[in-house]
Copies of this chain bind each other. A is one copy, B any other.
Amino acid sequence: MSSVAYTVGKLAQASDTKAVTIRYYEREGLMPSPPRTRGGYRLYSDVHLERLLFIRRSRRLGFSLGSVKKLLEIADRKDAPCVNVDMQVSQHLSEVRERLAQLSALEAELQRLSACCEGEGVISNCRIIEALSGDDGTSDTPY
C-alpha cells in the first residue's frame, strides 16, 4: 500500500509539481528530508506524496507558503483545536474578497479607459494617454 518509492522526478510527475519546487519546499521546511539512495538520490514514499498534495492544494487556494506551514503544523497535531484552522481560512477568505473588490473596480476603470479610444488617431489626441497623464478617474472632464 504505502511502499511505493519515488525519485524526485516521479514525485514531481505524480503531483504536477516541478522537481526544483519540491526541493525548494524541503529547503523551506515544508517537506521533510527523505531517505536517500547510496548515490544520494532522494527516495519518497506515499506519505510524502500526501503531504506534497496538501501543500499544492493549499497553494492553489492562494495560501502563502507561510500559511501552508502553519496549516501543516496544526494538521500534524491531531488534538489541537480546530478553531485555529477555521481562523486561517476565514482570514484568507476576507483577504480574497478584498482583492476581488479591488480587481473589480480596476476592471471597470480599464473598461472605461478602453472604451474612450477608437484607436484611429495619433498619440497627441489619445484620450487614454490623457487619462493616464492627469485624470484621476473620478471626474468626467478630461485633462
Q: A residues near B, CB below 8 A?
A: 47, 50-51, 53-54, 57-58, 61-62, 71-72, 74-83, 85-87, 89-90, 92-93, 96-97, 99-100, 103-104, 106-107, 109-111, 113-114, 117-126, 128-129, 132-134, 136, 139, 141-143
18 further contact pairs, Cβ within 8 A, besides A51-B143, A79-B124? A47-B141, A50-B134, A50-B141, A50-B142, A72-B142, A74-B123, A75-B129, A75-B132, A75-B133, A76-B142, A82-B117, A82-B120, A85-B128, A86-B114, A89-B113, A96-B106, A100-B107, A103-B103
Q: Please report whether the interface of chain A is mostly helix, strand, loop or mixed according to DSSP.
A: helix
Nearest CB in chain B: distance from A105 CB, A: 10
**A100 adjacent to B103 (CB under 8 Å):** yes
Given contacts A71-B132, A143-B75, contact A96 B107 (CB under 8 A): yes
Q: In the complex, what residue of chain B is closest to A96 when comparing beta carbons?
A: B107
Q: In the complex, what residue of chain B is closest to A99 when comparing beta carbons?
A: B103
Task: Name the B residues within 8 Å of A103 (CB-CB).
Answer: 96, 99-100, 103
**Protomer copies:** 2
- The CA of A128 and the CA of B57, in the complex, are separated in Å by 12
Name which of A75, A79, A99, A111 has the most chain B CB atoms within 10 A of its CB: A75
- The CA of A82 and the CA of B126, in the complex, are separated in Å by 6
**B54 adjacent to A142 (CB under 8 Å):** yes
Task: Name the B residues within 8 Å of A85 (CB-CB).
Answer: 117, 123, 126, 128-129
